[in-house]
Amino acid sequence: MEEYLKNQNIVITVSRIYGSGGHTISRMLSERLGIPYYDKDLIKMASEESGINESLFADADEKSKAGLLSKILKDVYKDDEVLPPSSKDYTSDKNLFNIQASLIKKLAQSESCIIIGRCAEYILRDYDNVLSVFIHAPMDYCIETAARVKNLPFKGLEDFINKDNRRKEEYHLKYTGNAWTDARNYDLCLDSSKLGFDRCVDEIVAYLDVRFKK
């Protein structure tokens, strides 16, 4: 582990287009830096902390039940809005998001780590110790990558990728009010089809060194 990762908490948030290899890159980065990465395990951690069944978090995970603009202003995340267990809305999608957001903030304050998805770059937007990364790639590359893990025909893969990306886009817009793919939301945007996974890791580490190494 780099010395500066031991001396200060550095958080890397990773958002990714499906099939761009963002999850694999996060795992490789975790191994390279010697710090943990969090994805689906955040659901289990949030469940244990709140006492809410894990399946409810899974059902609400990165989805938006309403893409209407009228819902966006209502649900955009604001700090410290976790409801008490006595509230009738304790298990609402919005409160489930807020519980995960609170957990993400606690991680950012306590350790160096990588957090995948869940609007972490927005939740931690005011934290100086955060590097936000967006991994993307053209559709043909994403289809080729997805074909390694999904047994679907070409058209089925394209439809699956479009559906998953649309889900993430609606989820991000609902809780942040920002477009998910807008480069202005991130410190670093990388095309994995041009760089490859190893070079993406190299570029993230190089950015960390420039910004945080003293």
The answer to whether domain 3-212 has CATH 3.40.50.300 is yes
Q: What is the mean pLDDT of residues 88-100?
A: 91
pLDDT of residue 192: 98
The stretch 100-126 carries a mean pLDDT of: 95
- At 70 the pLDDT is 43
Separate counts of helices (H) and strands (E) for the chain: 10, 5
Q: Could you tell me the pLDDT band of residue 73, with boundaries at 50, 70 and 90? A: low
Nearest to 45 by CA among 34, 29, 61: 61
pLDDT over 90 (residue 103) = yes
Amino acid identity at 144: E
Q: How far apart are the first and last CA of the chain?
A: 15
Dump pLDDT digits (tens) for 17-67: 999 999 999 999 999 999 999 998 899 999 998 999 988 888 887 565 544
The pLDDT assigned to 59 comes to 81
pTM of the model: 0.90
Model pLDDT, residue 66: 46
Give the separation between CA 44 and CA 55, rounded to whole angstroms. 9
Tokens representing 38?
């969090």
**Across 184-211, average pLDDT:** 96
Q: How confident is the model at residue 155 (pLDDT cuts 50, 70, 90)?
A: confident
The yes-or-no verdict on residue 74 having pLDDT over 70 is no
- Give the count of alpha carbons within 13 A of 101, CB side only: 24
Q: How much is the pLDDT for 81?
A: 79
The whole-number average pLDDT for the span 54-82 is 67
Nearest to 125 by CA among 52, 185, 68, 177: 185
Over range 176-199, report the average pLDDT: 96
